[in-house]
Amino acid sequence: MSNQLVSYSKKGAIGVITVDNPPVNALGVVVRKGLMDGIASAEKDDVKAVVLICAGRTFIAGADITEFGKPPQEPGLHPALDSIEGCSKPVIAAIHGTALGGGLEVALSCHYRCAVAAAKLGLPEVKLGLIPGAGGTQRLPRVVGVEQALKMISTGEPIGAKEARERGLVDELVEGDLLEGALAFAQKIVDEKRPLVKISARDEKVKGTDPKLFAAIRSGLNKSSRGFEAPMHCVDAVEAAATLPFAEGMKREREIFVKAHDSVQSRAQRHIFFAERAANKIPDVPSDTPIMPIKHAAVLGAGTMGGGIAMNFANAGVPVYLLDSSQELIDKGIGIITKNYAGTVAKGRLSQEAMDKCLSLIKPTLSYDSFKDVDMVIEAVFEEMDIKKEVFKKLDAVCKPTCIMASNTSTLDVNEIAAVTSRPQQVIGMHFFSPANVMKLLEVVRGAKTSKEVLATTMAVAKTIKKVAAVVGVCDGFVGNRMIHPYAREAGFLLEEGALPQDVDRVLYDYGMAMGPFAMGDLAGLDVGWRIRKRKGVPAGKRHSKVADALCEDGRYGQKTQKGWYLYEQGSRTPVPDPSVEAIILREAEAAGITRRKISDEEILERCLYALVNEGAYILEEGFAQRASDIDVIYTFGYGYPVYRGGPMFWADSIGLKKVYERICEFQKIHGDDWKPAPLLKKLAEEGKTFTG
C-alpha cells in the first residue's frame, strides 16, 4: 500500500508506515486516509508490530492549515485514530522534531511511543482559541496525570522528550538513528509479549481527582490568561476526562470543541495566526527576489533602544557593532545590556554560557570607521530630523555600497532621511518597539526609492532576529503611531468632557488592552509626546486638549518622575489615582468652556476604538498599509491589543461595519470633522462588506 504521502513497507517482522508530507507532515485528508490504509495493510500482512514514522525534519506537527475554514473532508481524524488504536498488533509512534496538536493525538492513539531526545510534544490548540479535538484532552490526562495535562493543554506549551519520558508520555528514548531504534523497540515489545496499551482504557491517573484542583487552575487562569475563553474550555474538557467514562468524555470534548471553534475569539485568534504569515508577503516583491547575506550588523546609539536592537542580533548569532559618541555612553549601554542578560539568566531562561556568547558578539566602538564592512547598520539616535540626517551623511561616506542603512525612526520621513545619501535605494525604516529586545513587532518602512532587494532582505532579517514584521509606507507616524494619535486624542477629550484617567483606563483594560492609554503614557514618558507637540504646534481651528501639556509643565512625566496621570509611590509601577490630576482636568475643562457630564463605559470604548478603526481605514485607502490584516498584526504585536479580539480591523468586522460607520457619523455631528468617516469605511459599510474578507 502507498499513496503519494503515506507508504507502507516491511522491515523483517515489523511493518513501517511512513508519512512524507513536507514541510511539517501536516494531517491533511490524504495523510489521514494513508494512515488508515497503512494500518489495514499491516493487519493483512504477517508482521508482528507496526512502526509509525515520518520523513523529513519532523513528526506530524499538526493539522493542515490549508483545510482551516473549509468543509471537513472524510476520513476525519477520529476514524484514523480509532483504526490505529484498534489495530490488533502493537503500533509504535517514532517521534522526532515536534509532535504537536493532531500529531500528538496520533501518537497518543498508538500503543507505545519512542522519541529522540531533542523531540518536543504538545497540544497548542489553545493558541488558536481552540481545544484539542481528537481525544487529546481525554487521552493525555490518562498518561501524564490531570495536573500536568491541564498545564500542557491550557498553556499550549510543549515539553521535551526527556520530560515526556519521565511522565510516561514517551516509553523509550532513542539514541542514534530513529528508525533503527524504533524497529529495535518494536521487536523488544514483540519478544516480551507486551500487551496492547490502549490509553482510552486506562483510568488510574484520572480516577479520584480532587475537584478542588480544577477550581484552583481556573482561578490561576483568570489572572494569567485574562479575557481568553479557550483556556477555560481546556479545563472543562480535561475535567470531563476525570469525571466521565472515555466515550462520554469524547462526546463532551466534541461539544466543547465546536463551541470554541464557532466563537468570535477563536476566529480572531485564527485570523491573527494567518495575518502574521500574510504580512510577510509583499505583492510587488517576487518570492525569488535575491536576499543579501547579513553576516555583520551595526547599531548606532547605545541607549535603551539601540542596546535592545543590538541584543536582537547577538541573540541570533550575528556579530554587531554598537557605536555611541562617548565611552561613558558606551559603558552605560553595555551595562544595561549585561543587566538585561543577567536577569534572563537569573530566571533560568538563558545559560551563563549563552549570555557570555551573546555579549562577545556585541562590539562597542566610538568610530564610524568600524562600519566600513558591515552589511546592515541601524540608526537609533534621538528622534530629531537634523540629527538623523547628519548621521546618515556620515554613514553614506563610510559604509560599503551594498550596506543596508536603516533608521529606527518612529515618526519621521524616511524619504527625507534617504535624500541626504547618495544611495536612497539602500535606505529603509526599521521601527522597533520598546523594549526592543522583548517586543515582537517590527514596522518595516518602505521608502519611495527603497529597492526590492533591500526590502526583501530586511524582511528576512526580521525573521532571523525573531520579529513579526509588517511593511508600511512613509507617512507621519507610519501605521501604528499614526493610529494611536486619534485614539489618544479621544481619550484626552473624554477627560475634559467628564471622565477621569482611571475610568478610561479601566474600560480599555477590561476590553482586553494590556493597559489603558493613560497608564501607557506614564510608562512611555509624557515628555516625549509633549516635545513632539511643541515642535509641530497645533493646527489653527483644531480642538486640542491642554491637560497633558499642563501635567508636563508641572514636571509630571510619568513613572520616570513618580507622577504623571497617576502617582507611583517609591518607585512602584502600580498607578494610584491622584486628586491633583482631577483638579487640573477640571481647571482645563472650565478654561476650554466645556461643561462636564457623566460618560458611559460604552461611549469611552466607542470613542477610543472607533477612532482607531476609522484612522486604519484612511491608512488602507491611502495605501500606507498593504492589507487590513497587517494593521491587526501591528496592533496585536506592538500595542498590546488583545489577540482574542483579532486586532482593530477584525474587531470592527466582527461587530459590523454598518454599526461602526453609523456611530462614527453620529460622532461627526457632535464633535466635528475629526470624526469624518473614511470613504473606504463608508463604501464597505454600504456594500455589506468587511475589511478582512
Is residue 269, in this structure, part of any structural domain at all?
no
Cα 65 from Cα 420, distance rounded (Å): 46
Domain ends where: 553, 584, 599?
A: 599
Instruction: Give 272-320 pLDDT, tens digit per residue.
Output: 999 999 999 999 999 999 999 999 999 999 998 999 999 999 999 999 9
Instruction: Give 605-629 pLDDT, tens digit per residue.
Output: 999 999 999 999 999 999 999 999 9
Going through 40-126 in order, the beta strands assigned E by DSSP cover 49-54, 91-95, 98-100, 112-116, 120-122
Neighbours of 550 (CB within 10 A): 16
Do residues 454 and 511 both lie within one domain? no
Q: What is the pLDDT of residue 535?
A: 76
Do residues 592 and 609 both lie within one domain? no
User: Is 124 a residue whose pLDDT tops 60?
Assistant: yes
pLDDT (average), residues 193-197: 94
Domain ends where: 472, 504, 539?
A: 472
Report the b/e string of 142-156 with b at 16+ CB within 10 A: bbbbbbbbbebbbbb
Do residues 658 and 539 both lie within one domain? no
Do residues 313 and 354 both lie within one domain? yes
Residues 6+ apart with CB under 8 A from 280: 459, 463, 469
Do residues 140 and 191 both lie within one domain? yes
In the chain, % of residues over pLDDT 70: 100
Say which CATH number the domain at 666 has: 1.10.1040.50
User: Is 602 a residue whose pLDDT tops 90?
Assistant: yes
Do residues 467 and 550 both lie within one domain? no
Query: What's the predicted TM-score (pTM) here?
Result: 0.93
User: Is 434 a residue whose pLDDT tops 90?
Assistant: no
Q: What is the pLDDT of residue 532?
A: 76
Domain of 525? Answer: 480-599
Do residues 42 and 130 both lie within one domain? yes
Is residue 286, in this structure, part of any structural domain at all?
no
Is residue 288, in this structure, part of any structural domain at all?
no
In the chain, % of residues over pLDDT 90: 91
Do residues 175 and 324 both lie within one domain? no
Element containing residue 379 per DSSP (H, E)? strand 376-379
Q: What is the pLDDT of residue 533?
A: 81
pLDDT band at 3 (very low <50, low <70, confident <90, very high): confident
Is residue 122, in this structure, part of any structural domain at all?
yes
What is the chain's mean pLDDT, rounded? 95
Cα 407 from Cα 419, distance rounded (Å): 13
- Length of the chain (residues): 693
Say which CATH number the domain at 456 has: 3.40.50.720
pLDDT band at 1 (very low <50, low <70, confident <90, very high): low
Instruction: Give 373-417 pLDDT, tens digit per residue.
Output: 999 999 999 888 999 999 999 999 999 999 999 999 998 999 999
Query: Read out DSSP for 146-177?
Result: HHHHHHHHHH---EEHHHHHHTTS-SEEE-S-
Do residues 431 and 569 both lie within one domain? no
Cα 190 from Cα 89, distance rounded (Å): 9
Element containing residue 362 per DSSP (H, E)? strand 362-365
**Backbone dihedral angles phi then psi of residue 445, each to the nearest 5 degrees:** -95, 115
Instruction: Give 664-675 pLDDT, tens digit per residue.
Output: 999 999 999 999
Cα 104 from Cα 59, distance rounded (Å): 9
Is residue 283, in this structure, part of any structural domain at all?
no
Do residues 139 and 224 both lie within one domain? yes
Give the residue numbers marked as catalytic. Answer: 105, 125
Instruction: Give 77-114 pLDDT, tens digit per residue.
Output: 999 999 999 999 999 999 999 999 999 999 999 999 99
Is residue 196, in this structure, part of any structural domain at all?
yes
Domain count, the chain: 4
- Residue bearing the bigger pLDDT, 247 or 530: 247
Neighbours of 208 (CB within 10 A): 9
Do residues 448 and 518 both lie within one domain? no
- Contact (Cβ atoms closer than 8 angstroms) between residue 530 and residue 661: no
Domain ends where: 565, 599, 633?
A: 599
Is residue 289, in this structure, part of any structural domain at all?
no
Cα 42 from Cα 40, distance rounded (Å): 5
Is residue 287, in this structure, part of any structural domain at all?
no
Say which CATH number the domain at 63 has: 3.90.226.10
pLDDT (average), residues 40-61: 96
Instruction: Give 639-672 pLDDT, tens digit per residue.
Output: 999 999 999 999 999 999 999 999 999 999 999 9
Residue 165: which of 195, 134, 189, 143 has the closest Cα?
A: 143
Do residues 432 and 512 both lie within one domain? no
Q: What is the pLDDT of residue 32?
A: 96
Q: What is the pLDDT of residue 2?
A: 60
